[in-house]
A and B are shown apart, each in its own frame.
Chain A
Amino acid sequence: MNTGIPLEYFLITATLMFFVGVYGFMTRKNMITILMSVELMLNAVNINFLSFNRYLFPGQLEGHFFALFIIAVAAAEAAVAIAIIINIYRHFQSIDVEKADEMKY
């Protein structure tokens, strides 16, 4: 596969996706949607790792393993974050970030 596509096209796609994630992270109030924006940013970084690995060092696997470990860390992070969100919902009856303004209830 992958004969004629320049490297920059992959990087531009990943950049657009990353900043869609940044915009969502700053404008949404729903904690679930904020977490999904973080997942978008992580995946944009994964595309960058894999495209640099493919175009600059095609015989090596470092980019693959960085992407693999990012996926693993994202899975752990999502599990913990969703546990925290459910706990916050129990205390505040809402997952709005601005309603969760007390640390000790």
Chain B
Amino acid sequence: MFSTILFYILSVILVFSSLMVIFSRKPINSVLFLIVSFFAISGHYILLNAQFLAVVNIIVYAGAIMVLFLFTVMLLNLNKETEPKKSALVKIIAVITGCLLAVTLVGSLKGIDNAPVQDFSDNSIGLIKNLGKTLFTDFLVPFELTSVLFLASIVGTLMIGKKE
């Protein structure tokens, strides 16, 4: 019962702050609302029994990526509401694209059978002990490839960012 109430509160916060990310005119408000929505997503992760991923989401997204966004917004001095409106045609196309597919997906979700109820007794599956064991046995190759990806990202960022 408690987790159901928590789920509703987190979902309302999540959808509202996602909408505010899109509709606020100042970029800095968008960044702050995105941080709020990341905290709500971490709450969802805890409800879904992914405790380690909830912590990683806070650290990586709210701690690293959003600080990068905030620095960029402040560095480029974007704190003005000078963004021109897009034409009505583009907005209509965006509404149709977003709403039609969303309504289709939500409607198809309403019709599915209930998922088979599994054994929810094991709550420790998302803790770092189990994740670490699996990460270094079954997922070792993707893990190493991720480090190569990060190296490529560092080199690419430096090459793009350096002055001519």
C-alpha gap A2/B145 in the complex (Å): 34
A32→B126 CA distance, assembly (Å): 33
| Closest B residue by C-beta to A9 | B7
Interface residues of chain A: helix, strand, loop or mixed (majority): helix
Contact A11–B109 (Cβ < 8 Å): yes
Looking at the complex, which one of B52, B90, B122, B123 makes contact with A26 (CB distance below 8 Å)? Answer: B90
Measured CB to CB, the closest approach of chain B to A24, in angstroms, equals 4
Q: How large is the interface on A (under 10, 10 to 19, 20 to 34, 35 or more residues)?
A: 35 or more
Chain B interface size, under 10 / 10 to 19 / 20 to 34 / 35 or more: 35 or more
Find chain A residues with CB under 8 A from B69 CB.
32, 35-36, 78, 82
How far is the CB of B139 from the nearest CB of chain A, in Å?
5
* Chain A residue at minimal CB-CB distance from B44: A47
| CB within 8 Å of B: which A9-41 residues | 9-13, 15-24, 26-30, 32-33, 35-37, 39-40
Q: Which of B31, B49, B154 contacts A1 (CB under 8 A)?
A: B49
* A56 surroundings in chain B (CB, below 8 A): 115-116, 118
Report whether A13 and B86 are in contact in the complex, using a CB–CB cutoff of 8 Å: no
Spell out B's residues near A (CB within 8 Å).
1, 3-4, 7, 11, 14-15, 18-19, 21-22, 27, 30-31, 34, 37-38, 41, 44-50, 52-53, 56-57, 60-61, 64-65, 68-69, 72-73, 75-76, 78, 83-84, 86, 90-91, 93-95, 97-99, 101-102, 105-106, 109-110, 112, 114-116, 118-120, 122-123, 125-126, 130-131, 134-135, 139, 142, 146, 149-150, 152-154, 156-157, 160-161
Apart from the given pairs A6-B115, A80-B156, 7 other A-B contacts in the complex at a CB distance below 8 Å: A46-B41, A58-B119, A59-B119, A74-B65, A75-B64, A79-B68, A83-B161
Between A and B, 30 residue pairs with Cβ closer than 8 Å are A2-B3, A3-B1, A3-B4, A3-B120, A5-B3, A5-B4, A6-B115, A10-B44, A16-B106, A23-B22, A23-B97, A27-B22, A27-B91, A28-B22, A32-B72, A36-B21, A47-B45, A50-B50, A58-B122, A59-B119, A59-B125, A64-B53, A65-B135, A71-B53, A74-B61, A78-B68, A79-B68, A80-B160, A95-B78, A96-B83
